[in-house]
Structure 1
Amino acid sequence: MGGHRWAAVRIPDDAFVIAPNRFNITDFDFESATTLASPDLKDWIDQHDLNPADDGYNLRQICGSRTYRDMRYNNPRAWYVQKLFGVKTGADPT
């Protein structure tokens, strides 16, 4: 997030996350037992009107990016690591 704010989502024991140099948390529920965040994160987002959504918090939209660079740089890296873990990934994204 930058500064001293952070967020985390518990990953199930039978799962893994691949996050190549980008922010991947989308639907974030501040009240969920499976999420944690810095105590002031929600208030900071609301106070600075950073949330473009009418309902819910998509932290990737709020504090991350979704650019051409993600598509050309990060997505192929995620595809490759998924392939290494045996996930059926489909066609090469490059």
Structure 2
Amino acid sequence: MPWASYRQAGRTGEAIGLLERVVADSERLLGHDHPDTLTARLHLAVSYWYAERRDEAIDLLLQVLADRERLLGHDHPDTRDAADALRSWRML
């Protein structure tokens, strides 16, 4: 995942730019509800978090969580992971 390499190299801004394009392309090509689109949004939220864009990160994670709850159910591991991340971010 090139975006992760950018982020690990301290190039979070470039990772965000890449992920924003990935999210837009995924939504256009796969649809808003496709699992890969949701994962791309989650990765973008994490990059926002690392870039100290905390409000944007939480807003986007809330959207991912709502979509996962609607599509996968409350007990799905991906839904629980998103909920756990949101809880931990809110505690910081």
**TM-score by shorter chain over 0.5:** no
Q: Which has the higher contact order (CA 8 A, sep 6+)?
A: 1
TM-score by length of 1: 0.32
Specify which structure has the higher proportion of strand.
1
Specify which structure has the higher proportion of helix.
2
TM-score by length of 2: 0.33
